[in-house]
Chain A
Amino acid sequence: MTDSFVQLSLTPILIGVLASCACALPGNFLVLRRQSLMGDAISHVAFPGIVAAFLLTGTLAAWPMLIGAAGAAIVAVGLIELIRRLGNIDPGAAMGVVFTTMFAAGVLLLEQTGARNVHLDVEHALYGNLESLIWLKGTSWAALTDPEALAALPPQLGRLALVLLAVAAFTAAFWKELLIGTFDPTFAASVGARPGLVSAGLVVTVAVAAVAAFDAVGSIIVIAMFICPAASARMMTDRMGPQIGWSLVFAALAAVMGFVLAAYGPLWLGGRHSLSAAGMIAAVSGAILAGAALCGPRRKGTRAAA
């Protein structure tokens, strides 16, 4: 590893790890609550939110984009709930109706307003642009102690670190409420743990994590990281604490391995171009899930282990 590692690979790897962990943490609860596809829906609707924010503000600055995506996520969750209640429709189908429609509206808006010409397109939203988040001033390991170089770190790094901290704080603060709300909502309601409020908080957490990660790494990693690490961890243990530990380890592992494979794999094989890091991270998380599903000690549930 030479100095160019710090410049070109260190920050994308760190951002990938932070984004993966920020998504994997609430993902544990989504998987247990059978709301896995909430992450899918939210990351699909972030795209129209970003298009709308661009059309309203005319800039591609980070904050309007983030607010647009978050607003779209809130609108989508509200619409899903509305359609589910009003029409008495299966939640999966209600979700499908809402996120496809909003995504289609985003595509049409983009094409009709010519926003496409200014570096805003569907592919970018889906795949993200992890490789471009380099640290130009990080010319060597010594830059880690140089305040001037540190100031030039990609802003996504700090943002995602903050979001991960916030997600972890939420999980820690409402640990008990989240747990009983997940496993026994009726009991949670009877002891005054406000399961409705806590699950709304969880949805907001998911949306924040999805939007922040989406900005840095694209929606494909977001969906993969909400589900795959948590699902793999579920095969390893029956206890919630260890499951969260496993999921974070898996998420970080997928992020590091995925990035390294995408950036350096082709070079080892004699190629000259690197591959999509976002796609590779998702693929590696899938490989981890396959491994856990094949040989995880708790893959068949508690009964098989007894």
Chain B
Amino acid sequence: MDGFLSALLLQAGYNTALVTVGSALLGASAGAIGGFVLLRKRSLVSDAISHATLPGLALAFIAMAALGGDGRWLPGLMIGAALSAALGLLALDWLASRTRLPEDAAIGAVLSVFFGAGVVLMTVIQTLPMGRQAGIAGYLLGSTAGMLRSEAEIIALTSALVGLAIFVLRRPFTLVCFDPEYALVRGVNIRAADLAMMALLLAVTVIGLKVAGLVLIVALTIIPPVAARFWTDRPGAMVVIAAALGAAAAWLGAVLSSLARGLPTGALIVLIAFALFLASLLLSPRRGLVAKALQRHRFRGLVQERQGLLALARGAPIYDGATLRRLKARGHVGAEGATTPKGRAAAEAAMRDEARWSLYRRLHPDESVSTPGGLRPLAEILPADIIGELDSRLAVRGVQP
């Protein structure tokens, strides 16, 4: 536990702290760009990008090893990965825009073909005399264990740069996501904005390869934004929340995986992100399942109370147990089942309100559609002059207002 706390608070050595901070910056950038990509409904493009990095990784490894260098040099691998991912992105774009294939088929085709080519190249590495593919296998699942200080610094720095770029480009991104035509009128180049969005997604993917691995980095760009979507309807806030959730997941994941062997960083980050998603799904006050269930319960209570009061007013017996309990709880009905004075008053009020409501619906059929009448007293919803008018019409017809 002490180890966990000190790692969490960056007190477990400079390297671990650097890895943690780098991972968190990466998580924030991934969450933020993922937010825009989710709004653009292209979440799974990142899956194609991440799988398309493999041939580049392998080729860069082979090239660097062939030139006599260390095949595992991170910047070289990142450049190779970025180049082949960019090629995959171009192929995807070309297939989706120039042929009849829909985007999802193009994503799947690029993903599997590039990954297949990468696997072939990995077996080439295995056969090379100098090749130990140990240096590269870590990129499949990600591992921060044994990461060099320089590597952690590169990851932290590039993640911060990507985050900055997202911040600068947030307005065109938002416009393109919601209203491409308006964006065009405002002078935003849609194609350029889309391209920039994809380039940043690619950058995040490539930077994250070392931390999360290429099968799982896609989760960092999808899960936090999906979770953030539960908390707000405003795009700006959503992107910020997604970045925060992504940073938290990456931070915790990096810390936990530094504690013991056999705790792969990528898997931990993804599982923590999923836990955050579950919490959002359940607990969000706006769209969470708990909030929705409470809302439904409250609504049912209102219906029961209104129907019960109307039955009291008509002197009709109430058979529904839940309704009776509700009326007793509100003090409208006494313990022995007789209507209390308060209940009589409430029943009269409900009757009057029902009369007002049915008249209003007849007089203003169009407006009544958007009026939440029938459960709440109409006087709380409509202005006093309309209530007055309704009452005077009811009085003419002999109904006591």
Chain A interface (Cβ < 8 Å from any Cβ of B): 31, 34-37, 39-40, 44, 83, 86-90, 92-97, 100-101, 103-105, 107-108, 111-112, 122-123, 126-127, 220-221, 223-224, 226-228, 230-231, 234-235, 262, 266, 271-276, 278-283, 285-286, 289, 293, 298-301
Chain A residues near B101: list those with CB within 8 A: 31, 231, 234, 293
13 A–B contacts from the bound complex (CB under 8 Å) = A34-B104, A39-B108, A86-B281, A104-B268, A108-B271, A224-B113, A271-B127, A273-B127, A278-B119, A279-B120, A280-B120, A282-B116, A301-B100
Chain B residues near A93: list those with CB within 8 A: 38, 43-44, 222, 225-226
Contact of B43 among A87, A92, A226, A234 (CB under 8 A): A92
**Would you give the shortest CB distance from A224 to chain B, in whole angstroms?**
4
Chain B residues near A228: list those with CB within 8 A: 109, 112-113
Chain A residues near B122: list those with CB within 8 A: 276, 279
Complex Cα distance A108/B270, Å? 10
**Would you give the shortest CB distance from B235 to chain A, in whole angstroms?**
15
Contact: B117 with A227, CB < 8 Å? no
Contact: A107 with B119, CB < 8 Å? no
Contact: A108 with B267, CB < 8 Å? yes
Contact: B44 with A96, CB < 8 Å? yes
Q: List the 4 closest A-B pairs by CB distance, nearest first.
A: A282-B116, A286-B113, A279-B119, A100-B219
The segment out of B203-211, B258-266, B368-376 that lies at the interface is B258-266
Contact: B104 with A90, CB < 8 Å? no
Extra pairs beyond A90-B43, A283-B116 (6, CB < 8 Å): A40-B108, A96-B44, A101-B223, A101-B274, A108-B267, A123-B140
Complex Cα distance A100/B141, Å? 12
Chain B residues near A100: list those with CB within 8 A: 215-216, 218-219, 222-223, 270
- Interface residue SS majority, chain B: helix
Contact: B108 with A34, CB < 8 Å? no
Which of chain B's residues has its CB closest to A82's CB? Answer: B281
Q: Any chain A CB within 8 A of the CB of B229?
A: yes
Contact: B119 with A235, CB < 8 Å? no
Contact of A224 among B104, B112, B218 (CB under 8 A): B112
**Would you give the shortest CB distance from B284 to chain A, in whole angstroms?**
9
**Would you give the shortest CB distance from B47 to chain A, in whole angstroms?**
7
* In the complex with contacts A90-B43, A93-B38, A96-B222, A103-B215 CB distance below 8 A: yes
Contact: B229 with A87, CB < 8 Å? yes
Q: Any chain A CB within 8 A of the CB of B124?
A: yes
Most chain A CB within 10 A, of B38, B44, B102, B111, is at B44
Q: How many A-B residue pairs have CB under 8 A?
A: 207
* Chain B residues within 8 Å of chain A by Cβ, number: 61
Q: Any chain A CB within 8 A of the CB of B345?
A: no
Most chain B CB within 10 A, of A86, A100, A101, is at A100
Which of chain A's residues has its CB closest to B219's CB? Answer: A100
* In the complex with contacts A279-B117, A279-B118, A282-B112, A40-B47 CB distance below 8 A: yes
Q: Any chain A CB within 8 A of the CB of B98?
A: yes
Q: Any chain A CB within 8 A of the CB of B107?
A: yes
* In the complex with contacts A90-B43, A103-B216, A220-B115, A37-B107 CB distance below 8 A: yes
Chain B residues near A283: list those with CB within 8 A: 113, 116-117, 120
Contact: B263 with A108, CB < 8 Å? yes
Chain B interface (Cβ < 8 Å from any Cβ of A): 38, 41-44, 46-47, 94-95, 98-102, 104-109, 111-120, 122-124, 126-127, 137, 140-141, 215-216, 218-219, 222-223, 225-226, 229-230, 262-264, 266-268, 270-271, 274, 277, 281, 287, 289
Contact of A88 among B42, B113, B140, B287 (CB under 8 A): B287
**Would you give the shortest CB distance from B272 to chain A, in whole angstroms?**
10
* In the complex with contacts A34-B102, A122-B140, A234-B101, A108-B264 CB distance below 8 A: yes
Contact: A298 with B100, CB < 8 Å? yes
**Would you give the shortest CB distance from A213 to chain B, in whole angstroms?**
13
**Would you give the shortest CB distance from B149 to chain A, in whole angstroms?**
25
Which of chain A's residues has its CB closest to B140's CB? Answer: A122
Contact of B108 among A36, A272, A279 (CB under 8 A): A36
Complex Cα distance A6/B108, Å? 34
Contact: B267 with A227, CB < 8 Å? no
Contact: A89 with B123, CB < 8 Å? no
**Would you give the shortest CB distance from B92 to chain A, in whole angstroms?**
12
Contact: B141 with A107, CB < 8 Å? yes
Chain B residues near A36: list those with CB within 8 A: 102, 104-105, 107-108
Contact of B287 among A87, A123, A262, A293 (CB under 8 A): A87
**Would you give the shortest CB distance from B365 to chain A, in whole angstroms?**
30
**Would you give the shortest CB distance from A281 to chain B, in whole angstroms?**
7
Contact of A272 among B105, B127, B215 (CB under 8 A): B127
Contact of A122 among B41, B112, B118, B141 (CB under 8 A): B141
Complex Cα distance A83/B70, Å? 45
Contact: B112 with A223, CB < 8 Å? yes
Complex Cα distance A86/B262, Å? 34
Chain A residues near B141: list those with CB within 8 A: 107, 122
**Would you give the shortest CB distance from B255 to chain A, in whole angstroms?**
15
Chain B residues near A104: list those with CB within 8 A: 216, 219, 266-268, 270-271, 274
Chain A residues near B263: list those with CB within 8 A: 108, 111-112
* In the complex with contacts A96-B218, A271-B127, A87-B230 CB distance below 8 A: yes
Chain A residues near B42: list those with CB within 8 A: 92
Contact of B109 among A92, A289, A299 (CB under 8 A): A289
* In the complex with contacts A35-B104, A93-B43, A107-B267, A220-B222 CB distance below 8 A: no
**Would you give the shortest CB distance from A107 to chain B, in whole angstroms?**
4
